[in-house]
């Protein structure tokens, strides 16, 4: 994984690579390796018709099956592609903040994202838009078979 992604990153950067999986999301940071491996799950609370992110990743998965009716655990990816762009964007934002923390609020990372080889151009655009809207300065998409090579 490190060899492919290191070609995209500048020396000493805090840029990241994200493998958005249907079950889990992995985040790799140059010179640190895989720093995050969490479920691709977002818990959404709906109050008076307004939706709000309640939890993401491990915290959201722990809530599955134990929440009141107004909280729903959602997997924003199906078959390796984004099925719910808004929820996926919130998940990506959460993972960027979790990895970079508050110290990097003004430094937006470059992000490489693995996409399934069978994904359509519309699905790839949705993935790129989600990462851009989550704060990435640049987004690079690579096919999963290339990332695994």
SS3 sequence, 75-133?
CCEECCEECCHHHHHHHHHHHHHHHHCHHHCCCCCEEEEEECCCCCHHHHHHHHHHHHH
How big is the chain by its Cα radius of gyration, in Å? 15
Asked if residue 133 is part of any domain, the answer here is yes
Asked if residue 22 is part of any domain, the answer here is yes
Model confidence at 9: pLDDT above 80 = no
Q: Which of 84-88, 117-121, 137-141 ranks highest by mean pLDDT?
A: 137-141
Q: Is the dihedral of CA 88, 15, 99, 147 positive or negative?
A: positive
Contacts of 9 (CB under 8 A, 6+ apart): 15, 30, 110, 112
Model pTM score: 0.78
Asked if residue 48 is part of any domain, the answer here is no
- Count of domains forming the chain: 1
Model confidence at 6: pLDDT above 70 = no
Model confidence at 101: pLDDT above 50 = yes
Asked if residue 62 is part of any domain, the answer here is no
What domain range is 116 assigned to? 2-38+77-148
- For residue 7, the model assigns a pLDDT of 52
Asked if residue 60 is part of any domain, the answer here is no
Mean pLDDT on 105-113: 75
* pLDDT band at residue 45 using 50, 70 and 90 as cut-offs: very high
* CATH number, domain containing residue 92: 3.30.420.40
Asked if residue 103 is part of any domain, the answer here is yes
Closest to 24 measured CA to CA, from 60, 63, 66, 67: 60
Q: How far apart are CA 26 and CA 51, in angstroms?
A: 26
Higher-confidence position of 149 and 146: 146
Asked if residue 50 is part of any domain, the answer here is no
């Amino acid at each position: 994984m490190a060899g492919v992604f290191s070609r995209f990153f500048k020396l000493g950067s805090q840029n990241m690579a994200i493998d958005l999986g249907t079950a889990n999301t992995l985040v790799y940071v140059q010179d640190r390796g895989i720093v995050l491996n969490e479920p691709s799950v977002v818990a959404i609370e709906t109050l008076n018709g307004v939706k709000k992110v309640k939890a993401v990743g491990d915290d959201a998965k722990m809530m599955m099956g134990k929440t009141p009716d107004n909280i729903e655990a959602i997997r924003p990816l199906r078959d390796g592609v984004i099925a719910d762009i808004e929820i996926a964007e919130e998940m990506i934002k959460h993972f960027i903040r979790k990895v970079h923390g508050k110290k990097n609020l003004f430094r937006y990372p470059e992000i490489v994202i693995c996409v399934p080889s069978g994904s359509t151009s519309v699905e790839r655009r949705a993935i790129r838009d989600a990462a851009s809207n989550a704060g990435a300065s640049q987004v690079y998409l690579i096919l999963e078979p290339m990332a695994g090579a």
